Amino acid sequence: MKKKLTITVAEDVYEGLQAVVGPGNISQFLEDLARPHVVQTSLADGYRIAAEDEVQEQEALEWANSLIGDVSELS
């Protein structure tokens, strides 16, 4: 269930949020920033949630695979 929250921010912060995040994405952006600080989840839950983000998982896999070449160059 979603709850509506009204907050007050400086005009430059608001304009920055609109420019960087986009007007339709500010709520989700702020929720994602706040969640780890205010919602207690177990480490296992955190890993499960992270694993559900397919884009992030693909980027992590590509990054990890790119390190293989770096290590082989050291020997």
pLDDT tens string 2-16: 899 999 999 999 999
**Per-residue confidence band for 74, with pLDDT thresholds at 50, 70 and 90:** low
Does 70 score more than 80 pLDDT? no
| 51/73 same-domain check | yes
| 34/47 same-domain check | no
| 50/73 same-domain check | yes
The set of long-range contacts for 12-16, using a CB threshold of 8 Å and a minimum separation of 24, is: none
Instruction: Please check whether residue 21 is in contact with residue 29, taking contact to mean a CB–CB distance below 8 angstroms.
Output: yes
Domain interval for residue 73: 41-75
Give the torsion sign (CA, 14, 25, 33, 67): negative
**Distance separating alpha carbons of residues 11 and 7, to the nearest angstrom:** 12
| 47/74 same-domain check | yes
Does 72 score more than 70 pLDDT? no
